[in-house]
Amino acid sequence: MPRQKLAAEPDRPARDPKRTRAAILDAATTEFARYGLGGARVDRISRASGANKRMLYYYFGDKEGLFLAVLEAAYAGIRSAEQKLSLLDVAPIESVRRLIRFTWDYFLAHPEFISLLNSENLHRASHLRKSRRARSLNSPLIATLGAILERGRREDIFRKGVDPLQLYISIAGLCYFYLSNIHTLSSIFGRDLAAQPARGARLRHVTDVVLGYLRREP
Amino acid sequence: MPRQKLAAEPDRPARDPKRTRAAILDAATTEFARYGLGGARVDRISRASGANKRMLYYYFGDKEGLFLAVLEAAYAGIRSAEQKLSLLDVAPIESVRRLIRFTWDYFLAHPEFISLLNSENLHRASHLRKSRRARSLNSPLIATLGAILERGRREDIFRKGVDPLQLYISIAGLCYFYLSNIHTLSSIFGRDLAAQPARGARLRHVTDVVLGYLRREP
DNA sequence: CGGTAAACTAACTAGATAGTTAATTATTTC
DNA sequence: GAAATAATTAACTATCTAGTTAGTTTACCG
């Protein structure tokens, strides 16, 4: 099948480095998410992006460099989405509900992020370690969550002594694991856990677990 | 480097199909866990097992058949360990504590199981779907957990209406995610989350989350 | 407008890869 | 004990793979 050329429109320059680079990143995200780093193929990325294979090496160095760029872009995506959350202008319980809802919806809408994280952990975060932006990928939500928990404690709604980092990890874990392992869980338990009623039940359950935990102790 | 022969001991038969097959499975488990299905190499498995590469195809058909055999063995392992748990001869709260502890300790001791599950989900459980034993890999703990929750409810300790499958998935998720994503989490948050104090804190936190959720509502 | 550099193309390469072939050897069975 | 079978070995194969080479073409700048 003849290769799709990018600059097919008459009024577009034949060379557009930003567009070429973005197209490669996009195709690479899909390929790495679908096959993992080890199973992804450079030639398939090249074909899907419409860019010559040489260009992958021209812009990203090598396959692993491309993978790191994909990962950084993925992190930038979730951080950007997190910034749009408004959590501090509502009551603490509602803040936590929103955070849970955001986390669940984000993972649901971005299964490629889950897959990329799994790949990166298989490789022991060796790519992130090379990244100059790793620490900047940290989530400012931890501090925000700390403020929410402190406010909830002062209002006598939440229990004392909750570690915001642990809670953040737990909220992520409760959502992530279900979606990341959706295939084996569905297979083992003989149910389609990806279907709507099951997903809705899962979100409600996660919310109950977290809010139940946060409830002030007698 | 000269290839290690299996039957080096004088009183061992030169041919031992069971031992050869077990050695291949063992080497394959390590290889698939370390590199994922796509990154694993058949020649490395052959070398590590000490068996001729032809034997991998003789016993398992192909690389994917070998992967399925590894996965089934891994599931058999956790089911066997679950059977040794005794949960019904103690009070409900202690039962739940034991289940959490078991889950955490098992994933900690078997990082290869986590990695294999991640690989299988990347491949959409396509191997498990071919397995004739998938449903038998189901956990009988779900029913046990149901009994525990019902007993706790009757004793007015636990809240009403807890879905044992959801709770089982949540306990697994709270433990699994932390360990599965240990590398990216440590990298992003600039802490060694695999070190002892952090692990202990994590287990305590998970226990508090689950028991906090289960606590009877006022 | 010409020179230069950047962006791009097509073909190539050296090594890797899963799987196969053609045996040989050890064990089992009658 | 000989024949048959199963388990094993060494070498091979066809294809795949990431990355490279050697250009060409387009855009930019003075």
How far is Cα B141 from Cα B164, in angstroms, rounded to an integer? 9
Q: Is residue B55 part of a domain?
A: yes
Enter the tokens of residue B18. 């069971």
> What pLDDT sits at residue B112?
98
- Does residue A178 share a domain with residue A74? yes
- Does residue A114 share a domain with residue A148? yes
Q: What is the DSSP string of A21-76?
A: HHHHHHHHHHHHHHHHHHH--HHHHHHHHTS-HHHHHHHHSSHHHHHHHHHHHHHH
Residues 6+ apart with CB under 8 A from B176: A173, A177, A181, B107, B114
pLDDT in tens, B46-71: 999 999 999 999 999 999 999 999 99
- Of the candidates A134, A170, A180, which has its C-beta nearest B174's C-beta? A170
Would you give the DSSP letter of residue B158? B
| Among the listed residues A60, A76, A4, A54, the one whose alpha carbon sits nearest the alpha carbon of residue A28 | A60
Residues 6+ apart with CB under 8 A from B82: B102, B139, B140, B141
Final residue of a structural domain among A25, A42, A61: A61
Which nucleotides of chain D are near protein (any atom < 7 Å from a CB)?
6-11, 16-22, 25-27
Would you give the DSSP letter of residue A190? T
Would you give the DSSP letter of residue A106? H
Enter the tokens of residue B59. 């016993």
Q: Is residue B175 part of a domain?
A: yes
Residue nearest to nucleotide C9 (CA to C1'): A52
pLDDT tens, chain A, 218 aa long: 333 444 445 567 889 999 999 999 999 999 999 999 999 999 999 999 999 999 999 999 999 999 999 999 999 999 999 999 999 999 999 999 999 999 999 999 999 999 999 999 999 999 998 887 766 777 789 999 999 999 999 999 999 999 999 999 999 999 999 999 999 999 989 889 999 999 999 999 999 999 999 999 87
Number of domains composing chain A: 2
Q: Is residue B67 part of a domain?
A: no
Cα Dmax for chain A: 71
- The answer to whether some atom of strand C lies closer than 7 Å to the beta carbon of B110 is no
Q: What is the CA radius of gyration of chain A?
A: 21
Enter the tokens of residue B119. 């690989």
Final residue of a structural domain among B14, B29, B61: B61
Is pLDDT of B100 > 60? yes
For residue B22, give its domain range.
1-61
In Å, what is the separation between the CA of A15 and the C1' of C7?
Answer: 6
| Among the listed residues A194, A33, A21, the one whose alpha carbon sits nearest the alpha carbon of residue A117 | A33
> What pLDDT sits at residue B4?
42
- Does residue B110 share a domain with residue B9? no
Final residue of a structural domain among A16, A35, A61: A61
Residues B145, B150, B155, B158, CA torsion sign = positive
How far is Cα A76 from Cα B39, in angstroms, rounded to an integer? 27
Q: How many CA atoms lie within 13 A of A4 on its CB side?
A: 11
Enter the tokens of residue A88. 């501090």
pLDDT in tens, B179-218: 999 999 999 898 899 999 999 999 999 999 999 999 998 7
- The answer to whether some atom of strand C lies closer than 7 Å to the beta carbon of A53 is yes
- Does residue B134 share a domain with residue B105? yes
- Does residue B161 share a domain with residue B187? yes
**Does A136 lie at the interface with B, CB-CB under 8 angstroms?**
no
- The answer to whether some atom of strand C lies closer than 7 Å to the beta carbon of A147 is no
How far is Cα B27 from Cα B33, in angstroms, rounded to an integer? 10
- Does residue A115 share a domain with residue A191? yes
> What pLDDT sits at residue A8?
45
CB-based contact B189 A120, cutoff 8 Å: no
- Contact yes or no for B115/B36 (Cβ under 8 A): yes
User: What is the mean predicted confidence (pLDDT) over B143-149?
Assistant: 96
User: What is the mean predicted confidence (pLDDT) over B106-118?
Assistant: 98
- Contact yes or no for A182/A150 (Cβ under 8 A): no
Q: Is residue B146 part of a domain?
A: yes
* ipTM for the predicted complex: 0.92
In chain A, beta strands by DSSP E: none
- Does residue A194 share a domain with residue A154? yes
- Contact yes or no for B185/B193 (Cβ under 8 A): yes
How far is Cα A151 from Cα B34, in angstroms, rounded to an integer? 44
- The answer to whether some atom of strand C lies closer than 7 Å to the beta carbon of A12 is no
> What pLDDT sits at residue A142?
93
**Does B138 lie at the interface with A, CB-CB under 8 angstroms?**
yes
The CATH number for A17's domain is 1.10.10.60
> What pLDDT sits at residue A13?
82
The CATH number for B150's domain is 1.10.357.10
Instruction: Compute the C-alpha angle A182/B75/B125, nearest 5°.
Output: 35
> What pLDDT sits at residue A2?
34
pLDDT in tens, B5-23: 444 455 678 899 999 999 9
What is the CB neighbour count within 10 angstroms for residue A211?
Answer: 17
User: What is the mean predicted confidence (pLDDT) over B41-48?
Assistant: 97
Q: Is residue B66 part of a domain?
A: no
- Does residue A80 share a domain with residue A176? yes
- Does residue B152 share a domain with residue B83? yes
> What pLDDT sits at residue B10?
56
Instruction: Compute the C-alpha angle B213/B194/A142, nearest 5°.
Output: 55
Of the given ranges (B77-81, B170-174, B187-191), which has the lowest mean pLDDT?
B187-191
> What pLDDT sits at residue A65?
96
> What pLDDT sits at residue A156?
96
Residues 6+ apart with CB under 8 A from B116: B29, B32, B33, B70, B71, B74
- Does residue A115 share a domain with residue A34? no
In Å, what is the separation between the CA of B31 and the C1' of C8?
Answer: 40
Would you give the DSSP letter of residue B52? -
- Does residue A187 share a domain with residue A141? yes
- Does residue B89 share a domain with residue B170? yes
